[in-house]
Amino acid sequence: MTAMIDIRHAQKTFTMHLQGGIELPVVSGVTFQVEPGECVVLSGPSGAGKSSILKMIFGNYRCDGGRIGIRHQGTLVDLASAEPRQILSVRRATIGYVSQFLRAVPRVATLDVVAEPLIANGMARPQAQERAGQLLRRLNIPERLWPLPPSTFSGGEQQRVNIARGFISDLPILLLDEPTASLDAANRAVVVELIEQKKRADVAMVAIVHDDEIRHLIADRIVDVTSFALAA
C-alpha cells in the first residue's frame, strides 16, 4: 500500500451540550485514499461535512470512530487514536494545512510568518526568509508589506500570505481549504500553478474548492461527500 492518506469508516458527531445535549451527526463511513502526487477534491453542498473531514485528517477534529491512516516518516499513524505528541510530530513533518483564514499572530512580520514553518524544521533564518520572499513575490505581495504584520492587511492579502505559509514547506501531505476563495484571476492562476508544482513533487493533497473552473484544473479525482453525510 502506497497511499499517503488512508481513511476508513471515519465518523464524526457533535454533541451540543449547551443545546440540551442534542447530537449532530456530521459524517460517517468516510472511506477514501490519496496517493502521492494526487489531488483529491471533496465535493458536496455546504454543510455536507467537507471541512470537518479536512479537519479530521489534520487531527484538529477528533474522530468518533474508524481510522485515519497517515504515512508519517515511513510508518502508518492512525490519527484517530494517536497521542497529542504524535499528532504534533505528524504536523511538523508530514501534513500542512492551508485554511481560508489566517490565524494571525500579532506583531510578527509577514516575511517571518511565511518563513516560520521552514525555521521550525531547522532551516537557517536567512535562507528561509529568502524562500519566503520568492513565494510572496510570486503571489504579488509587494515587498514594502513584508516587514509588516499581516493582521493589518486586506482579506485577499491575508489569504495569499496564508497560502505562501502553507506552500512553503516540503511536506508530503497538504490540506487545502478553499485556497482560492477570495482571490482575483491572476492570483488564482498562481495557486493552480503552485498546486501543479506540488503534484510534480509527489505531494498528496486533499482540497475543498467551490469554483468549478479551479476544481477541474486541479482535481485528479473527486470524492463526493454527500454519501458520508448523515445530516437530515
Partner 1 sequence: MADSNTAMQDYDRPLLMAGGLGKTYGRLNACQDVSFSLYPGEVLAIVGESGSGKSTLLQLLSAQLAPSSGKVSYRMRDGVMRDLAALGEAERRFLFRTDWGYVHQDPVLGLRMAVSAGANVGERLMAVGWNHYGHIRDTATSWLERVEIDIGRIDDAPRTYSGGMRQRLQIARNLVTEPRLVFMDEPTGGLDVSVQARLLDLMRNLVSELGLAAIVVTHDLAVARLLSHRVMVMKGGRVIETGLTDQVLDDPREPYTQLLVSSILPA
Exactly one of 5, 30, 48, 87 binds partner 1 (CB under 8 A); that residue is 87
Helices (H), the chain: 50-58, 84-93, 110-120, 125-138, 155-167, 185-200, 212-218
Between 16 and 76, CB nearer to partner 1? 16
- Based on CB atoms, which residue is closest to partner 1, 176 or 183? 176
85 binding partner 1? (CB under 8 A): yes
Q: Which three cell numbers stand for residue 196?
A: 501543479
- Nearer of residues 88 and 148 to partner 1, judged by Cβ: 88
Q: Is 88 in the site for partner 1 (CB under 8 A)?
A: yes
Residues recorded for the chain: 232
Nearest to 70 by CA among 50, 93, 101: 93
Of 21 and 126, the one with the shorter C-beta distance to partner 1 is 21
Taking the least distance from each CB to partner 1, the nearer of 108 and 190 is 108
* 213 exposure class (CB count in 10 Å sphere: 0-12, 13-18, 19+): exposed
Site for partner 1 in 53-82 (CB under 8 A): 55, 59-62
Closest to 95 (Cα-Cα) out of 188, 11, 176, 10: 176
Q: State the minimum distance, in angstroms, from the CB of residue 121 to partner 1.
A: 12
Q: Is 101 in contact with 158 (CB distance < 8 Å)?
A: yes
- Cβ proximity to partner 1, 80 vs 203, nearer residue: 80
Residues 93, 120, 148, 201: which binds partner 1 (CB under 8 A)? 120
Name the minimum Å distance from CB 85 to partner 1: 6
Site string for partner 1, 7-46 (x = CB under 8 A): -------xxxxx--x-------------------------
Q: Does 107 bind partner 1 (CB under 8 A)?
A: yes
C-alpha to C-alpha distance for 59 and 82, rounded to whole angstroms: 9
- Tell the smallest beta-carbon distance from residue 56 to partner 1 (Å): 9
Euclidean distance between CA atoms 10 and 80, whole angstroms: 8
- CA separation for the pair 140, 34 (Å, rounded): 31
Complete edge-to-edge strand list for the sheet that includes strand 173-177: 95-98, 173-177, 204-208, 39-43, 221-224
Q: What residues make contact with partner 1 under the rule CB under 8 A?
A: 14-18, 21, 55, 59-62, 84-85, 87-88, 105-108, 120
